[in-house]
Amino acid sequence: MAAFGDLSSRLTETFKNLRTKGKLSAADVDGTVREIRRALLDADVALEVVKAFTAKVRERALGDEVNKALNPAQQVVQIVNEELVGILGGEQRKLQFAKTPPTVIMLAGLQGSGKTTFAGKLAKKLQKDGHTPLLVAADLQRPNAVNQLQVVAEQADASIFAPEPGNGVGDPIAVSKAGVEHAKQKQYDTVIIDTAGRLGIDEELMRQASNIRTATRPDEVLFVIDSMIGQDAANTAKAFLEGVDFTGVVLSKLDGDTRGGAALSVASLTQRPIVFASTGEGLDDLEDFHPDRMASRILDLGDILTLIEQAQQNFDEEEARKVAEKLATDAFTLDDFLEQMQQLKKMGSMKKMLGMLPGMGGQMKQQLDNFDDSEIGRTEAIIRSMTPAERHNTKVLNGSRRARIARGSGVTVTEVNQLVNRFEQAAKMMKKVARGESAGIPGMGAMPGMKPGASSKRKKVKKAGGPPQKRSGNPAKRAQQGDDAPVTASGSGFGLGGGAPQASEAELAEIQKLFGKN
């Protein structure tokens, strides 16, 4: 996640120095804690949070749990991880719904924090979960705030209650109460009240927000805070806690170029849980906040669970089975590849997904920063510029066809050639993986639904009961042996034997290139 990029890099670099230590001395621990303190302060984490955090880490790192550990360095990383989870809230906190609908959710925060956009995101998320939300336009002060909420509601395909034009006209307290009554009459099960903000904290803002809370008696008051405001996050959160009080926190703009300290400071200082994290500009870019997963991202340990959940939400299982079957034959085409790209795009930014893999934030930060999601769009344009026959069989793509495709997609012929070459090479590689003849992961057999070694011709031997014939490393001799010459099976990565040989790095790179830069 971009918001914690620098902090993650600093911490992983600090822990890297510990791996060479067989046993940690007090000086090693003090040096590590000092680097952690610097990294947190540079990330705009509040000073009092940094002091408390590093004191706990130092105390535990010098304790028996590390001294008796087989790997002290790993134990220190585990301690830091656990303490990060603690200051981020400990456990996931979900929205609390009223026993008798409608559930009233009031949004509070400064102007520009992202309240209105979050209202639309929350409405869309609730609809996916089977709820019927109603947006209430109670921000009647900011110019065009009501119009903005109407646009967001339309994009989210959500209902809106906006009886007043805003721009200084109308009573926000009366509108809020009327909105709740309207929801009861029309049987909406959730009400989301978008309240007014200010450029700074003032008494009028707090009084108005407090009055709306008293009038509507919300089940949840969510404080929306811009993750990019740094040290001011702590003071703003404290002011809203005292003036209005809130039940949960929403971190907006967590995908921005920020140091991310707001998340750590707000959760720790207010003792209020972070409920949601807004991770992009799209209405689908809203995540439930999991303290343990966020801590893993900060420490560059990855967030595989979130990645899996996103895949499950966006990938069709039946479609995946059909693709697996096509991969084992010669039926996988550019049309199939285009469909897979469409499903990947539903999951959001490829850069963001890659960043959830362990080690990607630190070891491959520069490659991730250089990754251009727009390349996927160019690849898609090239494929869409082909005829159905060309997508089905790339062998028919002669020079004139490739020139026409380049003109139609706004790219060069070289880029078309690169895509076709990479697709053909990657398709061969994926075909091997699907058949269980080659695997990128140790011990991985055929794809689900496919029998290992589906191509039985490749399993022939010279004589019955004889050893498998090895293929020559000389290209000329290998050509004489023919395609039926088998590949000697190597043991699996788990020592079970009979596994498939490993794919080379070059072969795997071809698959990865299809989603990277041309």
Cβ atoms of 224 and 114 within 8 Å: the answer is: yes
What are the distances in angstroms from CA 321 to CA 88, 324, 335, 341, 450? 39, 5, 16, 16, 9
Assign 380 to helix, strand or coil. Answer: helix
- Can you say which residues are annotated as belonging to the binding site? 109-116, 194-198, 252-255
- Can you say which residues are annotated as belonging to the binding site for GTP? 109-116, 194-198, 252-255
Task: Tell me whether residue 374 is exposed, middle or buried, using C-beta atoms within 10 angstroms of its C-beta: 0 to 12, 13 to 18, 19 or more.
Answer: exposed
Q: Which residue has the tokens 């971009």?
A: 2
DSSP character string of 202-237: -HHHHHHHHHHHHHH--SEEEEEEEGGGTTHHHHHH
Assign 277 to helix, strand or coil. Answer: strand
How far apart CA 116 and CA 111 sit, in angstroms, is 10
Q: Which residue has the tokens 């020139």?
A: 403
Q: Strands 103-108, 190-194: parallel, antiparallel or unpaired by DSSP?
A: parallel
Among 278, 282, 198, which residue's Cα sits nearest to residue 244? 198
Burial readout 63-91 (b: 16 or more C-beta within 10 A, e: otherwise):
eeebeeeeebbebbbbbbbebbbebbbee
